Amino acid sequence: MMRPVSATIALFFALVCVSAPCGVASAQSAPPPPALRASATVTSEVVRIGDLVENAGPVADIPIFRSPDLGTTGAVSTDRIVEAIRPHQLIGIDTRGLAQVMVTRASRAIAPDEISARIAKALAGQFGFGDARNIQLNFDREVRMLQVEPDATGELQVLSLSYDPRSARFDVSLGLPSSAEMRRQAPHYTGTAIATIDALAVNHPIERGQVIKASDIVVLRRPKADLTAITDMNAVVGLAARRALQPNRPLAANDLMKPEIVARNDTVTLVYQVPGVTLTLRGQAQEAGALGDTISVLNVESKRVVQAVVSGPDRVTVSPVATRLVDNATATPQ
């Protein structure tokens, strides 16, 4: 006996819904709708649909735009994106209310300092140069950041190099074998290169007579040909400024002197010594002097001026030949 048709259909649906609830399975298997990204970072020379649209499906790898230059960012309007995608039958894109999408081309940046260091390294040890750190480069044009592919590895290589010692001019081309960008166009640099030394200078204004400390000193790079520049810290620290010193100007020997320990018009002790006798008198310095300097000193009591050697703070010693110093002076034997 045949069952009613309605009962058979009901039984079929009951069996199907045991393994997957009716009305739910279709909703779970539906893919998420395509949606526009607010920004994208790309690594190739082209921008693909999948770079700009989430859930782009089979058309994700189709290129639609040229990428920005390496290391730069560009904006693409939503209208242009939708128009470029339309021929590829991707419909129902959720634009999320975006007016544009920002697209960045990923890169590896090579800084100007790295470029300079590579050229200096290439010059070092030849053409009369020493260490690379002692080579100063002056470029004819501003050295800008190089942008290469993010997967371009390795160090910069020198493709060609020439140097003229008479004019100090260099001409160099650099390359990076792992970079297609640099293989297409190798960067080229020209300028001058000179050997330098570590010259010492003060880092703030120093008054005449002020004693220089290590904390007052800064190191400058100066041409090696500057033979007057002081390079030894021991030749500066502990000495005094012979004249007012300005910062960032290399120090020379004639800028410095021994510290003055007797000032002009200071009251000093005059010491006169002969074998078995030492006399001390009161004097007035007629000029300033450092230890060991010979200065003019007035014997306050005799009013005579003699030449004496600075032997300590506010103390000078008279040569034995200056016997007139003690004339009419009150001496104190010691």
Per residue in 184-241, pLDDT (tens digit) is 999 999 999 999 999 999 999 999 989 999 999 999 988 888 888 999 999 999 999 9
- The pLDDT of residue 334 is 46
Is the same domain home to 249 and 306?
Answer: no
Residue 30 lies in a domain: no
Residue 7 lies in a domain: no
Decide which of 106, 133, 151 is a domain's last residue.
106
Q: Assess whether pLDDT exceeds 60 at residue 98.
A: yes
As a whole number, mean pLDDT of residues 74-91 equals 94
**Structural domains in the chain (count):** 4
Summary mean pLDDT of the chain: 87
Q: Assess whether pLDDT exceeds 90 at residue 9.
A: no
Is the same domain home to 131 and 171?
Answer: yes
Decide which of 83, 106, 129 is a domain's last residue.
106
- The pLDDT of residue 331 is 46
Decide which of 214, 235, 259 is a domain's last residue.
259
Q: Assess whether pLDDT exceeds 90 at residue 246.
A: yes
Instruction: Give the pLDDT confidence of 33-64 residue by residue, as tens digits.
Output: 999 999 999 999 999 999 999 999 999 999 99
Quickly state the pLDDT bin for 321 (edges 50, 70, 90): low
Beta strands at 188-202 and 217-223: parallel, antiparallel or unpaired: antiparallel
Residue 21 lies in a domain: no
Encoded tokens for 281: 């008198």
Residue 19 lies in a domain: no
Residue 2 lies in a domain: no
Is the same domain home to 180 and 118?
Answer: yes
Residue where the block lists tokens 């007579």: 209
Q: Assess whether pLDDT exceeds 50 at residue 24.
A: no
Is the same domain home to 115 and 168?
Answer: yes
Which range marks the domain in which residue 56 is found?
35-106
